[in-house]
Amino acid sequence: MNAIALVDGNNFYASCEQSINPSLKNKPLVILSNNDGCIIARSAEARTLKIRMGEPYFKIKKRLNKLGVIVLSSNYSLYGDMSKRLMNILKKHCEKIEIYSIDEAFISIHRPHNKDLFPWARKLRTLIYQNLGLTITIGIAENKLRAKLANKLAKRINYSAGIFDLGIANNKNSYLKEINVENIWGIGNQTSQWLRSKGIKNARELKDMNQHELKKKLGVVGQRIQLELKGYQCLPIEEKKNQKKEIRVSRSFSQPITKLDDLKHALAIYTIRASEKMRAQNLKASVVTIFARTSHYSNFNYQKSAYKKLIEATNNTNIILKIVIELSKEIYHPDYKLAKAGVLMQDLSDYNYIQKSIINYPSDDKSERENKLMQTIDSLNNKFRNEVITWGIAKKKQSWSMNRKLLSGTSITNIEKIPTIII
């Protein structure tokens, strides 16, 4: 019989920073959101100081200073790279894997005759720590929902050492009782309020609740949650996520944009990124949409989008850039201070099944050459990172890019910032 494990990186963003910069180890550390807005991650040490998630930085700057908390801008290329390394190690030690988020994965693993998965879990934890300097928590159970609960229990129970197996635990019901309904995977705010009004407070009570009443209110979704709580497997491990419907790259500017040239520049950078993402997933877009808007806090509200349907689907940066730059004139307005803009690649289809247009048929030779060029650019950028090759427009000086004043100096995705060891 197979067991399901949920592996989760502890304080992931903060741990990534601590892993590449040992001087941050055992210190209170917080990471800020884009534009250094609010706190989105805390090291274990910062948690004990009762610094809350989501707190706006400007409000607690003084307090953080007083407490000696280290503050860093978010560095997503580092977290993304560490995540890839983490998932690659996990892949080698399981039968099936579903990457659920940047630091979480569901794993299907064969349960041995003696039912004991602790040696496997302990080995995996050690391996991840030795290779990446990251600590993980492993929750094991009969299915995905119970594995999520087991993971929560592993974090809560002091003697668990980061591993909890609900599948073989004695007295499972008493553990389920410890999980409040709000903390069950798939139970949202409204649902938990309704459950509380019915006197259902924890996972144990939800498991034993009248199934007809639950189904009447929450339909199949509620029924599935209850069955998984009972130990049945309803939710499969999804190795390949359903294909994306659109690829979106959008950002808020550190300072509002008022010039058309700046808007074009920002949209060009987002287009380069979005096209690269499409190529990485073998997708092509048939519709390209762009938008820009003023700040939600502005008194003068302005929002506009424009799109173009393509005769032939593409993921070629050259073609899409031309379209986006042309479209940007349609959404620009000189009277408004633009706070955010973005590009959306839509109507995506699989690379291999694309019908070629008969009207605008580029010679196979030319499109073949263009494809090779894009592949070469992508592989060079993958190899050396940090956009060694990009389009001229992306290299212009920016005054509007995101605030990341507190970015840590070290990196594993930028060759110039790799830590140096002097012997």
Residues lying near Mg ion in the complex (CB under 5 A) are found at 8-9, 12, 103
Q: Which of 2, 8, 1 is nearest to 164 (CA)?
A: 8
CB of 8 to Mg ion, least distance (A): 5
Nearer to Mg ion, 8 or 262 (CB): 8
Considering the complex, state which of residue 73 and residue 135 has its C-beta at the smaller distance from Mg ion. 135
Token look-up 């006197």 returns 199
d(CA 37, CA 177) in angstroms, rounded, equals 37
Spatial separation of the C-alpha atoms in residues 260 and 255, rounded to whole Å: 14
Q: Is 43 helix (H, G, I), strand (E, B) or coil?
A: coil
Q: Extract the tokens encoding 8.
A: 């989760």
Least CB distance to Mg ion at residue 10 (A): 6
DSSP string computed for 331-391: H--TTS-EEEEEEEEES-EEGGGPPPPSSS---HHHHHHHHHHHHHHHHHHHHH-TTSS--
DSSP letters, 235-266, are S---SSPPPPS-EEEEEEEEEEE-SHHHHHHH
Q: What minimum distance in Å lies between the beta carbon of 101 and Mg ion?
A: 8
Distance of closest approach, residue 97 Cβ to Mg ion, in angstroms: 16
Q: Which is nearer to Mg ion, 47 or 215 (CB)?
A: 47
Q: How far is the CB of 266 from Mg ion (least distance, A)?
A: 32
Least spacing, CB of residue 103 vs Mg ion, in Å: 4
Residue among 75 and 317 whose Cβ is closer to Mg ion: 75
In this complex, which beta carbon is closest to Mg ion, that of residue 139 or of residue 342? 139
> Which DSSP helix (H) or strand (E) runs through 174?
helix 172-176
**Which secondary-structure segment (H or E) carries 72?**
strand 70-73
6/348 with CB nearer Mg ion: 6
Least separation in angstroms between residue 160's CB and Mg ion is 16
CA 275, CA 268: separation in Å to the nearest integer?
11
Residue 181: DSSP 8-state: G
CB of 104 to Mg ion, least distance (A): 6
**Closer to Mg ion at the Cβ: 3 or 86?**
86
Cα distances from 95 to residues 131, 233, 389, in angstroms, run 21, 17, 38
Residue 16 or 283: the one with the smaller Cβ distance to Mg ion is 16
Length of the chain: 423
